[in-house]
Each structure stands twice: as C-alpha cells, then as structure tokens.
Amino acid sequence: MYFYLKDPKKNISHCQSNTLWRDMVIERAEESLSNTFRFTEKYEMERCTIPVTFSDDIDWDSIPFGDNEWCFAFNRHTFLLNNAKAVAITGDKKYRENWIRLFEDFFHRSKLSGKTRNLSWRSLESGIRIENYIRSIEIFSGIGLPVDDATLHDIEIFFDTHIEYLKECHTAFHRLSNWGVLQDHGLFLASLYRNNKEAMEIALERLDEEMRLQTLPDGMHWEQSTMYQAEVLHAALDTIIVGERNGVQIPEALKENTHLLASGLARSLRPDGKSYLFGDSDEIDMRDIIASAALLFNDGELSYFAEGGLDEEFYMSHELDSRLPREKKPADLSFVMKESGNAFLRLSENRAIRFHAGPIGSGHGHLDQLHFDVYENGNVIITDTGRYTYTDSKERYELKGGKGHNTILPQQMDQAVMDDSWAVSSFRSPAFGDFTADGDFKLVSATDFSHRDRGTIITRSILALGDEFVIIADDISTTEKNEVTSFIHLDSQTAISGKDGFISAVKGKSAIRISFIGEGTTDIAEYHLSKHYNEMESSPLIIRKSNVENRRLLVTIIALGDEEFSYERIPVIKVLSGTSLPEEISFGVSLKGKDNEYIAALISDEYPSGGFLLGCGKAEAYGRIFVMKNDEPAKVIRY
C-alpha cells in the first residue's frame, strides 16, 4: 500500500536543505521529549508559539490560556509526525521511541467519552490526525525502523475506533461544514489503511456530497475564508491522490468539484502566492497546494499560479522527479466570483486589488461588505486585519466587525449584529454590481444594504486606471443627516505622513499616496493586525469622517508607487447645454502620473436634463463612467 512517499528518507533529505524547515521539525520533536508542545506548522489552523509543558502526566484535554483551540491543535498530533521526520533527518531512534511513548499514552489514557468528544476526541481533530499517523508509519517503514508489532496492534485498534466514531458523526452540520470534508478525509484514510471497504465507500459518498454542497460555482468555498478553503482543498486532493495510487475508484463529481475549488483558490491568492486575510484566515504561501492540484489535474493554468511553490509540503506528498504541466498564463489575471461576492483585479505583475461584497458564509465570515485590499510591490499595504482568536473576546469582535475592515459605516454602526464569536444576525445581503476588466481600465462595484432600515444605502465603485491610480467612489443615499466613517487599515510597520486629507504611506518598496476629496476630517490611529492566529501586532488606521445629507459622492484617490503625480478636479458637463452635473452625483478628475495622463468621469445616476452627451475635460461620451488615457478616445466603462 502506497500513500505518500516510496522513499521517505530521500524526500526528507531533499527537504532538509531548507534549514528553517529542518530546524522547526527538530525543535518541535525535541520539545516533545520533555512533554512540551507548541504548534507552528505551515497550515496550522490555530498556531501557538508559546510552549506549554506538562511536568507530570499529559492532560490531553488541557485548555491553556482559556482557549479551546489550543486543545484542538494539540490533539491533531502534529508533534508525532515531527518526531517521525526527526528520525529520518537525524537517524536518532530516540524520536521513534518518543513517538511510541506519546501515542501509547494517548491510546491508553484518553478514551472516547461524552466529555472528550468536545476536546481531545472532537470529531474534526479525530479526522485530521489520521493523516499524521499514516504519514508517520510510512516514514518509519521507509527508513527501515518500522514500529513494533505491539504498537502496530494498538494503532489498528485505534484506527478501528476512529472509523466507527467518524461513521457515527455525520449530521446536516457536517454536510455543509469544512468539518465534514476534513473528518471524512480521515475516515477514508483510516478505512483504506484497515481495508474496511464499507467505511471507505461511506467516506467517499459523503465527500462527494460535501464537496458538491460546499463548492460554489465560481470556485470559492461557501464559508468565505481562504484558509479553510485551503484546508478543504487539501483534504479533497489528498483523498483523490491517495485513492488513485491504491486503485480506488473516485467519483467523477468529487474530482470535478475539487478541481473547481483549486482554480478558485489559485485565482484568489496574492501575486506572490500568499493568502489575503479574508475571513478567518492567516497569511500563508499556498502555492504548494496549487502545485499538487496542477499535477493531479494536468492543469497548466494552475501550474502558472503555483510557480515557485514546490516546497517541503509539496515534496512530502510527491516524488522528487514530479514535473508540473507546462504553464499556461490566463488570458486575463482579473477575476470575478459573483456567487461568493469576490473580485480580484490584477493591475500589473506586482499590483492587485481584492474586493468583497457577498454572503457572509459561515461563522468564519466577517462583516466586510465593500472591503478592499491593495497589494503593492510585495506588501498588502491596505489590508484586512485578520482574526487572532476565536474566543468570545473584545479582540474577536474588533477584528471580525466592520471597523476591522476597509469599508464605510454610517454613525460607525456595524453591518450586522455579532451575537457571539460565531453567530451573526440582522444581516442584509449586498448586491454585487459591475465587473469590468478592459485593458488598462478595471471596475468593480457593489451596494451595501446593511443600513437600509436606518435610511442609508451605500454603493462603492472601485475604478483602476492602469497600474497607477485607483479611485474609490462611495455613493451615499440617506434619509437623514449622517456622519459616515471610512476606514483604511495599513500594514504593520508602514510609515505614514501628511495632513489635510492627503496621506503618504510607505513600507519597504511599497508606497501609496491617498487623497480624500472634498470636506471631511482625517485622523490617524492604531489598530490590531493579526497575520497568524494568536499573534497580534499594531498597525496604522486612517479614519475619514464626512457629513452626508440626502445624497453625496465621497471620492478617494490612491496613487500607487512613489512616482510624482498630480490631480485636478474638473466638472462633468452636458455638452449640449454646457450645464454641470450636480456634485452630489458626479465627479470628474484629471490625473497626471510620470508617463500617462488620465481623465475619469463618474456619475451615480442618469441625469437626462440638458442633453445626453457628457463631457469631462477633453473626454466626451455617453455613459455613467468613462475614462480617457492620454490622447486615446474616451472609453465607456459603465453605461
């Protein structure tokens, strides 16, 4: 039976050339010799860098720091896999003996019960840890140090217990949750290892349905979290890869939905292959998982997105001579996923925008309607603020709520009610609007109805002019006088300067200049930023407050890079009559960069009085958004 590697020692020898990876593996294994544990693996869902030591017996249901997630991470047993890798790296049998000691301790002292079902035997962890056991067993056998017969016998009993338990744990919740895919992946692996064909068929039937229910037609996972999309994708890919290596017939629909989910994930990543902090997500380089999908599905487009991603995670599942299919660059690198409410605008090789306005998804979704990120030359310089914790705490609400996102809030009222760390009520679905990617010009828009009951509706349009300028236009309609607040969160260690509505922001080689148009006040504050679970830092927050009565178009101009630029407001007029459109529904501007000059006109509503042909400087057109680059003809982006 062949699960992952034909020659584990050869692959691990290759991987340890990355000294950071090698040191992490040895350090985690070495710590576990003295019953000290922490969780720092690449895809660890709840990282914890603070070591916890058990001076006496290990308490497998321990909850340090008041966070159940520590117990859950602990009981995925990644420390066992690190011990197995450490034997292959060093040849020191003490890690093998430690593996046996820790396994036998759990096997004999942590029993499935009413209490442990919610802790050390939670079904999600029970499913996830099976992979770590099988990988460990395969490594030991592959390096000529298989576990002894007595331990192997206990492992078989252990797996049989998991099979029966995981067969039992399947409700409507699991069918639509990432839990279902992750734990049924474990059920599949355990059943294959134990040659339990009945349980294996159950696992495949469930996985087939779960992937069908959870994968949206646009390729995104319905829970609105990049990280959990990656976890689900890994489980589905691993099921197919291991199954096919062992002659198991995999349902075609399962393969199709897995392929679709891989394409959605690939298109949603930053230009450097890392994940945005979308929903409950950490910053992770995910190109390895895209590479696995490219290899499995012989997909050249996935190879393009996986470039540079053949890391240790990839080579722990694939042979060293694996070759991805020839890269095929997509015709356009800007994508819209309307079912999930996501758009990704690629402005150039090193500049991109992410925009969200869609369903909130599961408890892993955030109150982030109309949120946008700006990736500029290696950094997400305008960023989401992450997640940090799942505890029912002030930090959880501040990062999950609207103020933790780059959006706009009337009276600083949130977009829904957060009932607790997971549940949300009074949520109003937004309406996704335009998406255009027409050469140098890109547009995305959506309308937020969160505040409709309080008489306010907000439509945000984001217009990109080449890779030089981004215009954010917020059309506010309200039945009463309102103070609206726009939030712009900058990456940590970003240096900011400026005043009176103009802000310069620089981090390393990344730079932007932000200009707020019209009356309003601008303040700078500090806010939380969490790029990994349990890790918090401080970052600058720009707060822009504006008064709105009845109708107002609030405009922000973002110049990308550190090149000199200038702008001048110009009226939008009716060519026939020469009359100007009201400023509360129109905005015109001339923007000059180093090499190009742009004219842009944005009109919120049709305004038939006085003629239909519109003008803005030397640009003339019939449409509600039109642009002009240098002396080229004006181009209509929205009619």
Q: How far apart are CA 277 and CA 281, in angstroms?
A: 5
pLDDT of 27 strictly over 90: yes
Model confidence band, residue 500 (pLDDT cutoffs 50, 70, 90): confident
Model confidence band, residue 333 (pLDDT cutoffs 50, 70, 90): very high
- Whether the CA torsion 355, 282, 306, 192 is positive or negative: it is negative
Please give the pLDDT value at position 503: 97
| Nearest alpha carbon to residue 555 among 540, 572, 574, 539 | 572
pTM listed for this prediction? 0.97
Q: What would the pLDDT profile of 212-228 be if each residue is shown by its tens digit?
A: 999 999 999 999 999 99
Give mean pLDDT, residues 189-198.
98
* Burial classification of residue 419, based on how many CB atoms lie within 10 Å of its CB (0-12 exposed, 13-18 middle, 19 or more buried): exposed
Q: What would the pLDDT profile of 418-449 be if each residue is shown by its tens digit?
A: 999 999 999 999 999 999 999 999 999 999 99
Amino acid sitting at position 171: T
Which residue ranges make up each domain of the chain?
Answer: 1-162, 170-289, 336-562, 564-639
Please give the pLDDT value at position 249: 98
Please give the pLDDT value at position 349: 95
Q: How far apart are CA 89 and CA 66, in angstroms?
A: 35
Please give the pLDDT value at position 71: 97
Numbers of helices and strands, H then E, in the chain: 16, 29
Asked if 255 and 261 count as a contact pair (C-beta separation under 8 A), the reply is no
Model confidence band, residue 499 (pLDDT cutoffs 50, 70, 90): confident
Please give the pLDDT value at position 35: 98
Please give the pLDDT value at position 405: 98
Class of domain 1-162: mainly alpha
Q: What would the pLDDT profile of 139-154 be if each residue is shown by its tens digit?
A: 999 999 999 999 999 9
Q: What would the pLDDT profile of 31-56 be if each residue is shown by its tens digit?
A: 999 999 999 999 999 999 999 999 99
Whether 1-162 and 336-562 share one fold: the answer is no
**Architecture of the domain defined by 336-562:** Distorted Sandwich (2.70)
pLDDT of 517 strictly over 90: yes
Give mean pLDDT, residues 467-486.
96
- The angle formed by the CA atoms of residues 554, 555 and 560, to the nearest 5 degrees, is 155
Sheet with strand 431-438: strands edge to edge: 431-438, 441-448, 456-465, 469-478, 551-560, 510-517, 502-507, 495-497
Give mean pLDDT, residues 262-270.
98
Give mean pLDDT, residues 130-136.
98
Average pLDDT, the chain: 97
Give mean pLDDT, residues 580-588.
96
Please give the pLDDT value at position 340: 98
